[in-house]
Amino acid sequence: MPSITPVPTRGRARKLAAASAVLTTALLAPAPVASARAPGRIVFVSERDGNSELYSMPSDGTSLTRLTSTPQTEIDPALSPDGSRIAFTRITDGNADLYVMDVDGGNVRPLAAHTGSDRYPTWSPDGSRIAFRSNRSKSFEIYSVRLDGTGLQRLTDNEGFDSDPFWARDGRIVFVSDRSGTRDIWAMGPDGRNQTLIARAPGGGQLRFPAESPDDSQIAFAQLKPTGGYEMDLMGADGTGATQLAASPISATDDDSSSDIAAKSYCL
């Protein structure tokens, strides 16, 4: 059992249910793999052709489609709730910017370009905004922006590390923060209010890449061990009932510039 310390939260308790997500783990440089939320389609990162590119396929693994073909590095794909668009990160000369494209790979356009590192896009449930992690204010914070690049809003204000946002279907944004001394899992409203600690990392460890199940009852996340290696865990949305899904003894580094860490993949 993972050594996760749940943090009591107000409001109604959430009933644990069987996860409707299929989760797998892998080590995939340079970034965690995001996936499709629309039924029957998966969007992912692969280096099978010698460069980090985006691909899509049906959930049965047939009809593989390559979506990008550039000399840059494309990572962090996130499919819009209606399945029509993909937000992703493109790294050019070490600078990470967000882009949006149609689900077939066409109509690629930048989103809120900046000299800082913008990564980990996640769509609002209605598809009108994208939240992401950026260090444009020096420290890593969570922001959101409209699809046309306007309405940029800073959601967190922490001198340390706020990252890995996931916009749940109930409207909350689940994310990781080290404001309490370790990288723990937090949640907040879509406007950045009501920031609440959900689960604490074990001593010396850190929690990364939270993602809620489609019914909002559970959260999957990666736990990086202080002694090396990583595991994929699952807990209730209130931070209780943590269980281990998979583990690897392979050491994972925490160089955020390259993100050579435990990757995640979801088929929701």
pLDDT digit string, tens, across residues 85-133: 999 999 999 899 999 999 999 999 999 888 889 999 999 999 999 999 9
7 pLDDT band, cuts 50/70/90, is low
Average pLDDT over residues 168-183: 93
Work out the percent of the chain whose per-residue pLDDT is above 90. Answer: 56
Which amino acid is located at 76 in the chain?
A: D
Lowest-confidence pick of 33-47, 53-67, 113-127, 236-250: 33-47
The pTM assigned to this predicted structure is 0.80
Helix boundaries (H) for the chain? none
State residue 239's pLDDT score.
87
Is the pLDDT score of 41 beyond 70? yes
Residue 252, SS3 per DSSP: coil
6 pLDDT band, cuts 50/70/90, is low
**Distance, CA of 63 to CA of 61 (rounded, Å):** 7
Lowest-confidence pick of 4-13, 201-210, 250-259: 250-259
State residue 1's pLDDT score.
43
Question: What CATH number matches the domain at 5-36+70-256, 2.170.8.10, 3.30.565.10, 2.120.10.30, 3.40.250.10?
Answer: 2.120.10.30
- Tracing tokens 């800082």 back to the chain, one arrives at 116
What is the distance of C-alpha 189 from the center of its chain?
17
Residues in Cβ contact with 214 at an 8 Å cutoff, skipping those fewer than 6 apart: 20, 21, 37, 169, 268
Residue 160, SS3 per DSSP: coil
- Tracing tokens 């996640």 back to the chain, one arrives at 122
Q: Give Cα separations from 211 to 175, 207, 232 (angstroms).
A: 9, 12, 11
Q: Residue 99 pairs with which residues in a beta bridge?
A: 88, 110
**Distance, CA of 29 to CA of 93 (rounded, Å):** 17
Is the pLDDT score of 70 beyond 70? yes
Closest C-alpha among 242, 81, 246 to residue 166: 81
Q: How far apart are the first and last CA of the chain?
A: 24
- For the chain, give the mean pLDDT: 80
Average pLDDT over residues 241-248: 86
Between 34 and 217, the more confident residue is 217
